[in-house]
Amino acid sequence: MARGRQEWTQAKFERYIKEGRGQGSGEKYKPWITVSDFSSMGRSARSPGWKTNRVHHFLSDHERRLFYLFEWSDIVVDIREQFPLLNLDLCTSIASDMGVKYPTDPVSGIPYVLTTDFMLTANKSGKSVQIARTVKPSSDLEKKSVAEKFELERRYYADQNIDWGIVTEKEIPRLLALNIEWIHSSYSLEATTEMAVEELRGLSSILKSRLQKSSATINKVTTALDREMNIESGTSLMLFKHLIATKEILMDMESTKISSCPSVQTIQKIIIK
């Protein structure tokens, strides 16, 4: 639902539609709710996406952590957050069938637009499918208002043959999410003041070779390579993170805290291209 205490009006609804909110896909998608819509959103955050090449907007830590899991998934090809249920006729009809009052602004009387935290496009067995997922702390699931909102969402997506489900913090592997967060900003290679992108790719190949031959910690290998190449400290570590993000270096992301730079022996596989 539109969050915050600002009055929700027909004019604001029409402005959101004109702005293209809740529309498009990939890089062109615009979430219905953005962090900038509110003066203070507590644990809200923005994060650039690997799959979409745009900034994503999250209103909680749970949303952000789940986003990292979707980024890591090989079957998810598009992630649309704060996705609106724009068919208000269907929403109000479902609410009526449920015997509940559809939420409206107390001043204007205009129906709010409900939102689902994530609408995913996934590739399953060669077919493109839509998957809707909403995130909620498990402690909130017993609340009547939450249960009613979720039941309305479930029926809404069932009408469209879209798989919908709830995710709580219990279904989000915390260490996996933290590991993905640690490497997330290194997914794309960008030229530094010292090295062009092609030079960084060449250095990546050297780093792979050093890791294959070493039994030291990852931090020692990357630090030594920086010194040997006389480049800015941290460059080789950034490349190590890039190689994990692009899955050229495989590690147990669910049980190994890779930000602690453990032994090279924790690396499961290094793929040589």
> Secondary structure of the chain: what % helix, strand, coil (to 5)?
45, 20, 40
Query: Please, what is the average pLDDT of the chain?
Result: 93
Helix (H) or strand (E) holding 267: strand 267-270
Over the range 229-255, which residues count as b (16 or more CB within 10 Å of their CB) and which as e? Answer: eebeeebbbbbbbbbbbbebbebebee
Distances (CA, A) of 70 to 6, 24, 199: 31, 19, 30
Say if 10-172 and 175-270 have the same CATH topology.
no
Distances (CA, A) of 24 to 50, 62, 81, 89: 17, 24, 12, 21
Per this entry, what is the length of the chain?
A: 273
Q: Is 194 helix (H, G, I), strand (E, B) or coil?
A: coil
CATH of range 175-270; options 1.10.10.10, 1.10.260.40, 2.60.40.1220, 1.20.1260.10: 1.10.10.10
Domain ranges of the chain: 10-172, 175-270
pLDDT for 1 beyond 50: no
Global pTM reads 0.92
User: Class for domain 10-172, per CATH?
Assistant: alpha beta
Q: Which two tokens stand for residue 111?
A: 């129906």
| pLDDT digits 0-9 by tens, 247-273 | 999 999 999 999 999 999 999 999 987
| pLDDT digits 0-9 by tens, 4-51 | 457 899 999 999 999 999 999 999 999 999 988 865 444 545 568 999
What does residue 195 show for φ and ψ, rounded to 5 degrees? -140, 140
- Residue 178, exposed/middle/buried by CB under 10 A (0-12, 13-18, 19+)? middle
| pLDDT digits 0-9 by tens, 98-122 | 999 999 999 999 999 999 999 999 9
Q: Is 121 helix (H, G, I), strand (E, B) or coil?
A: strand
